[in-house]
Structure 1
Amino acid sequence: MSRCSGFFLLLLGSPVWGSSYWQDQPLTPDWQQYLQQSVQLKQQDQQQFTKELTALGLTKALAAPKAKNFGLEAISSAAELAAVLSYQTPSGGWSKRTDMRQPRRPGQWAGAEPAYIPTFDNSATSSQIRWLMNYYPQADGAARQRIRHSLDKALQFLLQAQFPNGGFPQTYPLRGGYHDAATLNDHVMTDLLSLLSDISQSPLFSTEQQQQASQSFQRGVQFLVKAVVVLNGRPTVWTAQHHPLTLAPVAARKFEQVSLVSTESAKLLALLLGKASDQPGVHRTLCYGALWLQQHQITDKKWQRTATGSSLVPEKGRVLWARFYSLKDEKPVFFDRDGQTYSDVNQLSLERQQGYGWYQSEGKAFLKAWAKRPELQQQCAPSQQELGHATKAP
């Protein structure tokens, strides 16, 4: 192995078979095929990049420029189109936290975080696909051909990345660890399923591609229906990560331990309400999800951060939720970099209090949309009787 290829493989992370998810459960043929496909795509990306470095006489890749949100929020010119296309990997995806205003240079990483190339985290890949779809009408003939080629490859990438059961990992090809979990965190599932739904109706794609996207969307919806966490015999909402095979809740980083999540759950419920309310199992999921959010909303308070800490302070009319809730008693929980669980946000280090959104208000938008669907609410009567009257979190 050459020096440059060894360097590249090291930064890609551990091989897929090093992830515990794939070692603690028997693998059916479709999962075995999925994992082998991931290995092959990773090798494809590696080989092409290694070839590029060798041709340039480089033994170390050049760093890619960093940006919080890619340096742009849409493609508005031919130059920006060329730059975004230059960062697409051979496998078909894009990276995150990378400035895509200027074209990738030969020998340069395709992303500012080499181990995360490509990924769905922080809306990467889904953003670039949407940019290309939106820019297509104003592109000239030659540019349209390039966009179509890129979109074809990107859609194939999405279809390949989806688990056989309908979930999606955080990064693909797989790289091990919690990144291989079925990821709801930071709206990965919401972004991808919403995109697939739009692709299924977009004239930019062939009838076959539209059907593939529609089927992929439906598999994702059924994954969500099955993954809802059941506590004491009743459905609730979701956790940020689920085991890709068993769908059981799993942890990610030390300050993201196993817990029910309010924000991602609210976004997913809104997606189901708007795009899949008639699919099997979805209505029941919506009923219990809405009730869970109603039970756990914190009213007439806002979360205030200062240089010395944070606190909930009175403010009439405000509604929010803690980011995480314990699976044991469904009360707010908070995590620090030591991996410990705390019941009060002020028990965290100042760095974690200020560096993470421990209270959020995404649930309000879903409950507002849900209130406009009385025909669906009326069918929730058995669920409401089973749960009893909703109680609000303190």
Structure 2
Amino acid sequence: MKFKLYTLALGLIAVNLSAQIKKDTLAEKMLLYQLPIGGWGKQLEDKSVVNYDLPVDKTLLKKIKSTGDDHATIDNNATSREINALIKAYAATKNPEYLKSAEKGISYLLLMQYKNGGFPQYYPNTGLYRKQVTYNDNAMINALTVLYNVAEGKNGFDVVDSKLKEKSKTAVQKGIDCILKTQILQKGVPSIWGDQYNEITLQPEKARAFEPVSLATAESVGIVRFLMMQPVVTPEIEKSVKSAVRWFSANDIEGYSYNVTKQNGKTVRVLAEDKNSVIWARFYDVVTNKPLFGDRDGSVKYNYNDVSEERRNGYSWYGDFAGKLINKEYPKWLEKNKIADQ
């Protein structure tokens, strides 16, 4: 009789504990949006943008459920954003469903990585430029950063299954190898990186019509920061980081600022003289290092004012991309690792 009462008491405790499991509103929505393959999309089947601020009614739920795996992507922070948020939600609530979902997302990142270490923009969708190794919008670096946190047990990722940790260590090393291989050489000297690469040859390729083969400054800053995160600075990483920083220092644009304003409700982007400002172009020619600009018709321009008005104002062509990296982060990295700036 005592044994039965003891068993009953344990059962009641378990029920009470289950009832006390906390739920996070954002995390609950992310569970709904997760695709069967484990990743998340940036759009639904009807091409509407994933928006976690929207309440999930019957109509939206139907759209979510009809969205297939071909929408799974790492573009526009998709998948990495959700994994990071779910890990934080698990830390706050201890809801096992959030950790389970995050681990499924991590498994998706491991699944989509190419043998050469690169990451496509989409998986399993291979249409158009989606299969290219993609640094654009920090896609590959976002994925690798998640796997780095898993491998190192950082930023709350110490709770992840040990098998995923071991796989993530291998994936990060493969990713670094790919990064080092894809740093573009100019007369044998490493410069920075392009936006997209052929997934087989690892040669730079164009993506959208206005994204030509080029050196991509914003993404290259993200790549350098990722390399500087690594706990072990190999000679190859040291050379890569130093070379990229030298390239940034040699190819800045002094005396200009890039101003974004609203005129009659429309975004207007203007390149203006400013003696106190230093900026970089979004894209540079891989051979000459001249700033270049792509247009909707696939043409390449070397004069900002020659770009069509729609693309000139619809894309960020300049920015202070490498300022903080050069002036603060890189010197700290050198000092921390006792590396001479030579």
Task: Report the Cα distance in structure 2 between the residues aligned to 1:111 and 1:283, rounded to whole angstroms.
Answer: 47
Q: How does 1:112-123 map to 2 (within 5 A)?
A: 117-123=71-77
Structure 1, unaligned runs of 5 or more:
1-75, 382-394
Q: 1:91 aligns with which of 37, 41, 59?
A: 37
Secondary structure of residue in 2 paired with 1:167:
coil
Secondary structure of residue in 2 paired with 1:177:
coil
- The answer to whether the Cα contact below 8 Å between 1:267 and 1:362 also exists between their aligned partners in 2 is no
Q: Which residue of 2 aligns with 1:131?
A: 85
Q: Which residue of 1 aligns with 2:330?
A: 370
Paired amino acid for 1:352: R
Task: Report the Cα distance in structure 2 between the residues aligned to 1:104 and 1:196, rounded to whole angstroms.
Answer: 34
- The answer to whether the Cα contact below 8 Å between 1:110 and 1:117 also exists between their aligned partners in 2 is no
- The answer to whether the Cα contact below 8 Å between 1:267 and 1:363 also exists between their aligned partners in 2 is no
How many angstroms does 1:77 deviate by? 5.4
Q: CA offsets, 1:186-238, max 9 Å, x none? A: 00122111111112212221222212112211111111001111122211111
The reply to whether residue 267 of structure 1 matches residue 225 of structure 2 is no
Q: Which residue of 1 aligns with 2:16?
A: none
Q: Which residue of 2 aligns with 1:192?
A: 143
Q: CA offsets, 1:33-64, max 9 Å, x none? A: xxxxxxxxxxxxxxxxxxxxxxxxxxxxxxxx
- The answer to whether the Cα contact below 8 Å between 1:310 and 1:346 also exists between their aligned partners in 2 is no
- The answer to whether the Cα contact below 8 Å between 2:24 and 2:89 also exists between their aligned partners in 1 is no
Q: Which residue of 2 aligns with 1:333?
A: 292
Q: 2:197 aligns with which of 242, 266, 271?
A: 242
Distance change >3 Å, CA 276–CA 220, structure 1 → 2: farther
How many angstroms does 1:258 deviate by? 0.3
Q: How does 1:23-38 map to 2 (within 5 A)?
A: none
- The answer to whether the Cα contact below 8 Å between 1:95 and 1:111 also exists between their aligned partners in 2 is no
Query: What is the TM-score with the length of structure 1 in the denominator?
Result: 0.71
Q: Which residue of 2 aligns with 1:349?
A: 308
Q: 1:179 aligns with which of 113, 122, 130?
A: 130
Task: Report the Cα distance in structure 2 between the residues aligned to 1:377 and 1:116, rounded to whole angstroms.
Answer: 46
Secondary structure of residue in 1 paired with 2:199:
coil
Q: 1:162 aligns with which of 113, 120, 125?
A: 113
Query: What is the TM-score with the length of structure 2 in the denominator?
Result: 0.82
The reply to whether residue 100 of structure 1 matches residue 52 of structure 2 is yes
Q: Which residue of 2 aligns with 1:312?
A: 271
Paired amino acid for 1:197: Y
Q: Which residue of 2 aligns with 1:251?
A: 206
Distance change >3 Å, CA 339–CA 380, structure 1 → 2: same
Range with greater deviation from structure 2 (94-103 or 299-308): 299-308
Paired amino acid for 1:345: Y
Q: Which residue of 1 aligns with 2:249?
A: 294
- The answer to whether the Cα contact below 8 Å between 2:86 and 2:102 also exists between their aligned partners in 1 is yes
Q: 1:360 aligns with which of 315, 319, 341?
A: 319
Range with greater deviation from structure 2 (167-176 or 103-112): 103-112
Q: CA offsets, 1:166-197, max 9 Å, x none? A: 11000111332211000000001221111111
Q: CA offsets, 1:285-318, max 9 Å, x none? A: 1111010000111123201346596543233432
Which of the pair has more CA radius of gyration? 2
Task: Report the Cα distance in structure 1 between the residues aligned to 2:200 and 2:340, rounded to whole angstroms.
Answer: 32
Task: Report the Cα distance in structure 2 between the residues aligned to 1:149 and 1:263, rounded to whole angstroms.
Answer: 33
Q: 1:213 aligns with which of 138, 146, 168?
A: 168
Distance change >3 Å, CA 223–CA 349, structure 1 → 2: same
Task: Report the Cα distance in structure 1 between the residues aligned to 2:338 and 2:293, rounded to whole angstroms.
Answer: 32
**Pairs aligned (count):** 302
How many angstroms does 1:335 deviate by? 0.9
Range with greater deviation from structure 2 (145-154 or 120-129): 145-154
Structure 2, unaligned runs of 5 or more:
1-21, 43-48
Task: Report the Cα distance in structure 2 between the residues aligned to 1:151 and 1:168, rounded to whole angstroms.
Answer: 19
Secondary structure of residue in 2 paired with 1:312:
strand
Q: CA offsets, 1:239-283, max 9 Å, x none? A: 000111111000000000100011100111011112255145111
- The answer to whether the Cα contact below 8 Å between 2:228 and 2:333 also exists between their aligned partners in 1 is no
Paired amino acid for 2:287: K
Task: Report the Cα distance in structure 2 between the residues aligned to 1:206 and 1:175, rounded to whole angstroms.
Answer: 30
Paired amino acid for 2:329: A
Q: Which residue of 2 aligns with 1:391?
A: none
Task: Report the Cα distance in structure 2 between the residues aligned to 1:184 and 1:197, rounded to whole angstroms.
Answer: 16
Q: Which residue of 1 aligns with 2:9?
A: none
Q: CA offsets, 1:327-386, max 9 Å, x none? A: 1311100011011111111111111111100001121121121122445696553xxxxx
Secondary structure of residue in 1 paired with 2:143:
helix
